[in-house]
A and B are shown apart, each in its own frame.
With several copies, the nearest count.
Chain A
Amino acid sequence: MLDVAAIRRDFPILARQVRGRRLVYLDNAATTQKPRQVIEALVRVYEQHNANPHRGVHTLATETTDLYEAARAHVARFINARRAEEVVFTENATAAINLVAHSWGRATLKPRDEVVLTHMEHHANLVPWQITAAETGAVLRFIPLLPDGTLDMDAARRLIGPATRIVAVTAMSNVLGTINDLRPLIDLAHEFGAVVLVDGAQSVPHIATDVQALHCDFLAFSAHKMLGPTGVGVLYGRYELLDRMGPFLAGGSMILKVEWERSRYNEVPWRFEAGTPNYADAIAFDAALDYLEALGMDAVREHEVQLTAYALGRLAEVDGMRIFGPPDATRRGGVISFYYGDIHPHDVGTVLDYAGVAVRAGHHCAQPLMQLLDVPATVRASFYVYNGRDDVDALTDALTETAKVFGYAARTRAG
């Protein structure tokens, strides 16, 4: 089990007050807070090593290059990639998916080829495919959801077939919390020679990830959702696949030999990293991985399962509460979306903020899913390593207050 009190002491922002109340940060699916170990690593780069990597023979440049490449190697180990060269640093998970939609998608897809997505994709794993489909004539197909918020696997088996070129699917829904059972989907896609991109933005921070065991071809995620700094995303790609892909962004570092009219491109992964990379943040991300590994990803998961089970129980006691996603905490991540009575999520969010409780209220970059759920938006509480039961209690207490403001007859049965 995690020692939440000790962990909290590592996060300077958690000492802060919001409108005179303790900050209860439950917006972790959007971005997480940073432990001082990560902040210090960032400061250390700038105070001791800073230089443009890959371009210099001097000491600072050598040090920065080594630290940057060590971060890459660490990411590779963290997801059990075969080699460091399978890790491309991008600006965020969104840029990582765009890289695939562009460099793999535009080069590969032909009219009527099928791109299979699901009805729970984040805009980041939907809009790039809309654009690539429009450019190539490929067609989008969507795996629908069952009423409990899980993927309809029967439908998936009907949808994935010889026309399928890529299946792009999230490992965990940022709205429903659903953890998808990816292996059967991936095996199915591979049977038909399709590749599989996994959107790991919500899963990699919370669940131990092994790309070799998963058999996925691509995996995208963001450092800022796992204690790391902003401005760093990761695209993992199988080496053979990356190696066959043309560049996306072009400029310095991604080239091997430039002439006026044409260029030869560099090896993977540098072929995909044009210009000065965000090395300082990538190096600080290395420290975030250290932090998570010290906690242990299995302990992180266990903690969140327990906290989610507790939260589901407490919220179920609140009258008029409509909770989305699978009811079983072991089948979902620590992300709980709900609609409270007839109170608009935006209003709930504002009142909760007054209680110091930071939740997200909105469409969570999943507008079409909101339509399926038949709500304009939801309130979403999401957990991480520094959250405890006291945070869940603060949430439910504040919801009771919200009901009072709006004259909604909310009662907690046991609260």
Chain B
Amino acid sequence: MPLEPELDELYREIILDHYRSPRNHAPLAHADVSEEGLNPLCGDEIALQLAFNDDRIAAIGWGGRGCSISQAAASMMSEAVLGRTAAEAEALRAAFEAMMSSGAEPDSELGDLEVLQGVNKFPVRIKCALLAWKVLAQALAARAGHSSRQPRQVERSR
């Protein structure tokens, strides 16, 4: 029973690599903002911390647990936004979400993140790939001062 090529599209080697060796996977000692989110279907949880230098993300740390997609997506997100300004990170988030939700052709600036496009064929897993990014959006909003106090939920699972 060989696996379908489609399944390989989901579990690309680079995704599994991030899953096994997550980057920036530790809490920050001094964070400017901390946000968390969860996906009630599978219990995925992501806690995210950002430290800024002026408007630039100077340090990022995250924790949580969940499936390979949610964890790899968080790891890749953390690499992708580190060093960017809030506005750049937000633009990247928007591009990523567009690729995941609408199946739009990936924006070339997404780089490695493009490997997650395969998740698009697995509607039920899209939420997994988006979780970390939603928490990022919360964190950026919180920093911009629209913070909601209590931990916000992210998306309802499908």
Point out residues on A near B: beta carbons under 8 Å: 19, 54-57, 61-62, 65-66, 255-257, 264, 266-267, 270, 343-347, 350-351, 354-355, 361-363, 367, 370, 376-377, 397-398, 401, 404-407
Q: Are A62's CB and B124's CB within 8 A? A: yes
* Chain A proximity of B14: nearest CB distance (Å): 14
Residue of B nearest to A375 (CB): B43
Q: Interface digits, B43-76 against A, CB 8 Å rule (1 contact, 0 not)?
A: 1110000000000000000000111110000000
Contact of A256 (CB < 8 Å), options: B11, B16, B66, B153 = B153
Q: Are A346's CB and B42's CB within 8 A? A: yes
B3 neighbours in A (Cβ, 8 Å): 351, 354, 401, 404-405
- B125 lies within 8 A of chain A by Cβ: yes
Q: Are A397's CB and B43's CB within 8 A? A: no
Q: Are A367's CB and B158's CB within 8 A? A: no
Q: Are B41's CB and A354's CB within 8 A? A: no
Point out residues on B near A: beta carbons under 8 Å: 1, 3-4, 6-7, 10-11, 16, 38, 40-45, 65-69, 122-125, 128, 153, 156-158
Q: Are B42's CB and A362's CB within 8 A? A: yes
* With known contacts A346-B128, A401-B1, A255–B43 Cβ distance under 8 A: no
A405 neighbours in B (Cβ, 8 Å): 3, 7, 11
Q: Report the Cα distance A255→B157, complex, angstroms.
A: 11
* With known contacts A354-B3, A362-B41, A376-B65, A57–B125 Cβ distance under 8 A: yes
B16 neighbours in A (Cβ, 8 Å): 406-407
B153 neighbours in A (Cβ, 8 Å): 256, 264, 266-267
Q: Are B66's CB and A54's CB within 8 A? A: no
Q: Report the Cα distance A21→B111, complex, angstroms.
A: 35
Q: Are A397's CB and B1's CB within 8 A? A: yes
Q: Report the Cα distance A362→B43, complex, angstroms.
A: 7
* Chain B proximity of A151: nearest CB distance (Å): 24
Q: Are B42's CB and A354's CB within 8 A? A: no
Q: Report the Cα distance A362→B4, complex, angstroms.
A: 24
Contact of B10 (CB < 8 Å), options: A350, A363, A404 = A350
Q: Report the Cα distance A76→B96, complex, angstroms.
A: 29
Q: Report the Cα distance A376→B156, complex, angstroms.
A: 17
Contact of A398 (CB < 8 Å), options: B1, B44, B157 = B1
Q: Are B65's CB and A54's CB within 8 A? A: no
A54 neighbours in B (Cβ, 8 Å): 41, 156-158
Q: Are A256's CB and B68's CB within 8 A? A: no
Q: Report the Cα distance A66→B122, complex, angstroms.
A: 12
Q: Are A347's CB and B158's CB within 8 A? A: no
Q: Are A350's CB and B66's CB within 8 A? A: no
A-B pairs, top 7 by smallest CB distance, nearest first, are A346-B67, A344-B67, A346-B42, A376-B43, A62-B124, A57-B124, A347-B68
Q: Are B43's CB and A367's CB within 8 A? A: yes
* With known contacts A256-B153, A398-B1, A350–B122 Cβ distance under 8 A: yes
* Chain B proximity of A271: nearest CB distance (Å): 10
* Chain B proximity of A342: nearest CB distance (Å): 9
| Most chain B CB inside 10 Å of its own CB: which residue of A56, A266, A344, A406 | A344
Q: Report the Cα distance A61→B125, complex, angstroms.
A: 13
Q: Are B123's CB and A344's CB within 8 A? A: no
A345 neighbours in B (Cβ, 8 Å): 42, 67
Residue of B nearest to A255 (CB): B40
Q: Report the Cα distance A55→B40, complex, angstroms.
A: 9
B65 neighbours in A (Cβ, 8 Å): 376
Contact of A266 (CB < 8 Å), options: B4, B6, B69, B156 = B156
* With known contacts A346-B66, A407-B16, A376–B38 Cβ distance under 8 A: no
B158 neighbours in A (Cβ, 8 Å): 54, 62, 65
| Most chain A CB inside 10 Å of its own CB: which residue of B1, B44, B153 | B1
